[in-house]
Amino acid sequence: MRDFLRSRRARIGPAEAGLGPDAAGRRRVPGLRREEVARLAGISVDYYVRLERGRNPKVSASVLEAVARALRLDEAERARLFALARPRPGSARRRPVPPQRVRPGLLRLLGSLTDTPAMIMGHRLDVLAANPLAKALYTDFDALPHRDRNLARFLFLDPAARQLIADWDTAARGTVAALRLYAGRHPHDSRLTELVGELSVHDEDFRQWWADHDVFAYTHGTKRYRHPLVGEPALEYESLTLPDDPDQALYLYTAEPGSPSAHALRLLGSWSEPELTAGGGHAPHGAATAQRLQP
């Protein structure tokens, strides 16, 4: 809580917060002071200090909303604030995060999507399943060891990712922020701790961005690629959260009809179609079917 609220205070100057020219001047730290946040939120300084230090176990929703408005938090940051201030019952106990499995019906749905890359992602951005077109776009996750079937590991530890993702910095920062948002819901996920530790040791960018405490929810957007086979498509993604498992989402990638990106997708689709084997049969590109991933 302390680090998160400090990082949010540091982003906003007194003029931006509407405190007037009298609030400007020499400051030891960037952004707003604690007393200024308290004034903007309409609470006492002592109360805000205790909140920032995590010493208000029964803080009301109205106070959290007031602090969120004072710090101009977006929806993902607001969710992070509430998760830190009001952890879910039992979240303080260290217990394993239950395994995730993709339902057979969802696997069949994924296999039926032949003209658009599609993946199902779960805890910690683990890639639970991917159709052939998604494997052709990114990598054959099914061919990797289970622990490596993770989008964050791919982005930060696979050298090919920096060549593939045209706006790698933006995509990678968003991935770190998405892991931060997940950490608020599952603060004692030992596999997340392992992942963050591994990426922090091996990548300076990850280590710095993790310390920023930014949070981000993948819902929709655009990603640009530099694919070695089909050029530089710009694909729009949509993330659809599954109602029976809020930590499992279907990601779909599409292109504007008639655009060069749509043509690139068609080329990628033809490349990922089953190829004839030496014996006359057909062998699919990558793994034959989407596989389950045990966390």
Element holding 253 (H helix, E strand):
strand 245-254
Phi, psi for 234 (deg, rounded to 5): -110, 115
Confidence (pLDDT) at 12: 87
**Per-residue confidence (pLDDT) for residue 94, from 0 to 100:** 56
Count of beta carbons in the 10 Å neighbourhood of residue 199: 23
Q: Distance between CA atoms of 268 and 290, rounded to whole angstroms?
A: 18
Measure the CA–CA gap between 234 and 212, rounded to whole angstroms: 28
Q: How confident is the model at residue 31 (pLDDT cuts 50, 70, 90)?
A: confident
Q: How confident is the model at residue 248 (pLDDT cuts 50, 70, 90)?
A: very high
Sheet of 118-121, strands arranged across: 127-130, 118-121, 245-254, 234-242, 220-224
| Range of weakest confidence among 80-84, 91-95, 188-192, 283-287 | 283-287
Q: What is the mean pLDDT of the chain?
A: 85
Query: What percent of the chain stands above pLDDT 70?
Result: 85
The H-assigned helical ranges of 71-167 are: 75-85, 104-112, 132-137, 151-157, 159-164
Say how far apart CA 127 and CA 150 lie, in whole Å: 5
- Determine the Cα–Cα distance for residues 79 and 215; give it in Å rounded to an integer: 9
Per residue in 154-167, pLDDT (tens digit) is 999 999 999 999 99
For residue 262, the model assigns a pLDDT of 96
pLDDT at 227: 95
What percent of the chain lies above the pLDDT cut of 90? 63
pTM: 0.79
Residue-range domains of the chain with CATH: 2-85 (1.10.260.40), 104-283 (3.30.450.180)
The pLDDT score that the predictor gives to residue 126 is: 96
Over range 73-97, report the average pLDDT. Answer: 75
**Residue 114 or 27, more confident:** 114
Cα separation, 28 vs 231, in Å, equals: 49
Task: Summarize pLDDT for 110-152 with one digit per residue, the tens.
Answer: 999 999 999 999 999 999 999 999 999 999 999 999 999 999 9
Q: Which of left, alpha, beta for 231 (phi over 0: left; psi -120 to 50: alpha)? A: left
Q: What is the pLDDT of residues 203-220, one digit of tens each?
A: 999 999 999 999 999 999
| Predicted local confidence at residue 96, as pLDDT | 67
How confident is the model over 258-275, as a mean pLDDT? 85
Residue 77 near residue 5 (C-beta atoms within 8 A): no
Q: Which of 12-26, 264-278, 281-295 has the lowest mean pLDDT?
A: 281-295
Return the bridge partners of 118, or none: 252
Looking at residue 89, its pLDDT comes to 57
For residue 290 the two structure tokens come to 């989407």
Looking at residue 262, the DSSP 8-state letter turns out to be H
Residue 187 has pLDDT above 90, yes or no: no
Q: Residue 20's pLDDT is what?
A: 62
* pLDDT of 171 over the 50 cut: yes
User: What are the b/e assignments for 94-128, b being 16+ CB within 10 Å?
Assistant: eeebeebbbeeebbebbeeeeebbbbbbbbbbbbb
Q: Which pLDDT value is given to residue 295?
A: 34
